[in-house]
A and B are shown apart, each in its own frame.
Chain A
Amino acid sequence: MALQTQPGTRPGRGTAPGTAVVPRARTNTFSALLHRHPRLRLAGLLTAPAGWLVLVYVAALAALLITALWTVDTFTGKVTQSWTLANVVQVVTDPVYQIITLRTLWIALAVTVIDMVIALPISFFIAKVATERWQKLLVVAVLMPLWASYLVKAYAWRNVLAEGGLLEWLGTPLGLHSPGYSETAVILTLSYIWLPYMILPIHAGFERVPDSLLEASGDLGAKPWTTMRLVMLPILVPSIIAGTIFTFSLSLGDYITAQIVGGTTQMLGTVVYANVGAANNLPFASAVSLIPIAIVMIYLFVVRRTGALENL
Chain B
Amino acid sequence: MKTITAYKCNKCGLVMYPYHDRCLNCKGRDFKEIAPTSKGKLLTYTVIEQLPWGMDERGRVLGVVEFDNGVKALGLIKDDAPRIGMKLKVNWEPVREMGGEEIFGLTFVKTK
Q: Do A and B come from one complex?
A: no
**Chain A residues within CB distance 8 Å of chain B:** none
